[in-house]
Amino acid sequence: MTFADPALLAIGLVVAVALAWAALAVSRRRAAALAAAGVAAAGGAGRGRRRGPLAGAWLTIAGVAVLAVAVAGPAASVPVSHASGTVILAMDVSGSMAATDVTPDRLAAAKQAAVSFINAQPGSVDIGVIAFQQGGLEAARPTADHASAAAAIRRLTPGGGTSLGDAILASLSAITHTKVTLGRDGSAPSIGYWPSATIVLFSDGQDESTSTEDGTGADPATAAAAAVAEKAGVHIDTVGVGTVAGTTVDVDGFHLFTALDPAALESISETTGGTYHPASDASELNGIASSINLRLTVTNQPLPLAGAFIALALALLAAGAALTVMRTGRVV
């Protein structure tokens, strides 16, 4: 238990102790006076009558002591679980995100879903935005100001290639507030443990650095970046934007075929303990916010106890006064 003003508690308890000392002194004087007057031999009935006023006084003193505790602002520390921590929205803004196999296009649909996600989060969640092509750029720092994150999402425009590995590293940099990079040999750095952080990656999964034999799935650099997140306890939920059937899109004057690559996104989410969310149209993307589960964190929050102590103090004071009146006809 903690107290907002320990000084008031000390003063109140000193007053209660002084009252107790005074009550004992008065009781002893009365007993001495009665003994001198020869009343001590009156027997048990006399002692019972003397205990009545004293019992009322002790109840009153106890009420004063409890009231002193209440005035000092007592509070108990109670563990409360709630959605908290940091969420980084990693938004693919590569040229392929201009494809229209999702209405009105992939990026517009992803932006709408991301803003809906932001609006659904409690104020206890800090949200940041990373825009990535062949590199990652922090578009909005993680903050409880969700309006700034939503504004950053709305400003995004498509262009350039895609590197999912860079997206993950840039997101981890935003979480840790330090630049996270892989070693020249592809080795993964140690960035500590961040279990309350989550990355939500919106992409069509087409990674220009993909080097798997069948042209799909996460490339070694992306896999290494995902391993860094996994070691740091950061979950990555991936959202596939587009259709497997695909379509063509104009990029720098060229007509290129682009299609959703779920294998790359599934590999990332599985590595980090996250979940892959397929979404082939805008209506499915709008439901992503409710399907992504943020981890619950437990924090100790103060629970004010002054009200309970005041109620107890009033009950004790009332009982003490009633008992005193019943025994002596006086309040004190």
Q: Is pLDDT of 45 > 80?
A: no
Interatomic CA distance for residues 325 and 328, integer angstroms = 5
Interatomic CA distance for residues 270 and 274, integer angstroms = 6
| Residue 157, both tokens | 């425009």
Domain 81-299 has CATH 3.40.50.620: no
Interatomic CA distance for residues 54 and 324, integer angstroms = 8
Comparing 107-116, 164-173, 296-305, the range with the smallest average pLDDT is: 296-305
What single letter denotes the amino acid at residue 256? L
Query: How large is the average pLDDT for residues 148-171?
Result: 89
Q: What is the pLDDT of residues 297-326, one digit of tens each?
A: 666 777 788 888 888 888 887 887 787 777
Beta bridge partners of 279: 241
Beta bridge partners of 200: 89, 237
Q: Which residue matches tokens 């950061």? A: 234
Q: Is pLDDT of 188 > 70?
A: yes
Cis peptide, bond prior to residue 220, ω within 30 of zero: no
| Extended strands (E) in 112-253 | 125-132, 136-143, 197-203, 235-241, 247-251
Kindly indicate the confidence band of residue 41, based on its pLDDT and cuts at 50, 70 and 90.
very low
User: Quick one: pLDDT at residue 138?
Assistant: 79
What single letter denotes the amino acid at residue 317? L
| SS3 of residue 235 by DSSP | strand
User: Quick one: pLDDT at residue 294?
Assistant: 65
Q: What is the pLDDT of residues 204-257, one digit of tens each?
A: 988 865 444 444 455 788 889 999 999 999 999 899 999 999 999 887 777 889
Q: Is pLDDT of 39 > 60?
A: no
Cis peptide, bond prior to residue 195, ω within 30 of zero: no
How far is residue 140 from each of residues 89, 94, 223, measured CA to CA in Å?
Answer: 10, 18, 25
Interatomic CA distance for residues 240 and 138, integer angstroms = 21
> What is the rounded average pLDDT for all residues in the chain?
80
| SS3 of residue 300 by DSSP | strand
| More confidently predicted of 155 and 134 | 155
Interatomic CA distance for residues 195 and 308, integer angstroms = 37
User: Quick one: pLDDT at residue 48?
Assistant: 47
User: Quick one: pLDDT at residue 150?
Assistant: 93
Domain positions in the chain:
2-73+305-328, 81-299
Query: How large is the average pLDDT for residues 62-76?
Result: 82
| SS3 of residue 33 by DSSP | helix
Provide the greatest CA pair distance for the chain: 119
Query: How large is the average pLDDT for residues 24-48?
Result: 62
User: Quick one: pLDDT at residue 82?
Assistant: 57
| SS3 of residue 277 by DSSP | strand
Kindly indicate the confidence band of residue 199, based on its pLDDT and cuts at 50, 70 and 90.
very high
| More confidently predicted of 280 and 241 | 241
Q: Is pLDDT of 267 > 60?
A: yes
Residues 6+ apart with CB under 8 A from 29: none
Backbone φ, ψ for residue 208 (5° rounding): -65, -15
Share of the chain above pLDDT 70, in %: 79
Q: Which residue matches tokens 């259709």? A: 243
User: Quick one: pLDDT at residue 262?
Assistant: 92
User: Quick one: pLDDT at residue 253?
Assistant: 74
What single letter denotes the amino acid at residue 230? E
User: Quick one: pLDDT at residue 43?
Assistant: 45
Query: How large is the average pLDDT for residues 106-126?
Result: 88
